Amino acid sequence: GGGKILQAVSNTTNTETTNASTNLVSSGLAVAITPSASSSKILVLVGSNFRVAGDGGASNVAREGKVAIFRGSVSGTLLQQQIIGITNIDATTSAGVQSVNSISFAFLDSPSTTNATTYTVGISGLNNGDAQAQPFNFGSSMVLLEVGA
């Protein structure tokens, strides 16, 4: 019958990665899986530590960051994303203003392939925020579960 877990793969990283740009880059967390059947689904589970720090810009602009999961690299297929941070603080600049968050994703993907498929977490700064994954070297993890059709 369907719905059985056919395989599980995972990866953990605690390497701090910072991105001040609004262009998405890898957070350093990626996992590859080779589905045993093209009809299988892949359950993508992510638990990530994430910090947004003010970049010193004007205080009336939000200090935010973006976290997203992709099939492939950060230029691949966007599956899900979140925007995290501080939207408004009364300060002359945003320097030193920080928001530390625990981010989670649960996404059921249908890659329709038996080729090796990589899933990647991407991060970017947004507005007056710089994004940082694994702040203070706190770990982030991804688990991929192949679910039979």
Residue 15 pLDDT more than 60? yes
Q: Give the pLDDT score at 54.
A: 67
User: How far apart, in whole angstroms, are the C-alpha atoms of residue 82 and residue 68?
Assistant: 6
User: How far apart, in whole angstroms, are the C-alpha atoms of residue 65 and residue 21?
Assistant: 10
Residue 99 pLDDT more than 90? no
Q: Give the pLDDT score at 60.
A: 58
Q: Give the pLDDT score at 86.
A: 66
Among 148, 23, 36, which Cα is nearest to 73's? 23
Mean pLDDT of the chain: 87
pLDDT in tens, 33-91: 999 999 999 999 999 988 887 656 555 556 778 899 999 999 999 999 988 776 655 55
Burial 12-34 (b: 16+ CB within 10 A, else e): ebeebbbbeeeebbbbbbbbebe
Q: Give the pLDDT score at 78.
A: 97
